[in-house]
Amino acid sequence: MKQKILNIARYSLIEIDAQITICIKLNYIKKMKFGK
């Protein structure tokens, strides 16, 4: 049971990390397009 909770927590962290990465990439693309 404890292992299942750890797995869910790990997947949640990966999901959050992926969303943060996407946000950073989108901001970077916006800067590249409109920064010039």
pTM for the whole structure: 0.60
User: CA-CA distance, 29 to 1, in Å (whole number)?
Assistant: 42
Q: Specify the pLDDT at position 13.
A: 95
* Alpha helix positions (H), 1-36: 2-34
Q: Specify the pLDDT at position 7.
A: 92
2-36 in b/e form (b: 16+ CB < 10 A) is eeeeeeeeeeeeeeeeeeeeeeeeeeeeeeeeeee
The alpha carbon torsion through 8, 14, 16, 22 (nearest 10 deg) reads: -150
Q: Specify the pLDDT at position 1.
A: 77
- Give me the residues of the chain with pLDDT under 50, please: none
Q: Specify the pLDDT at position 34.
A: 84
Q: Specify the pLDDT at position 24.
A: 97
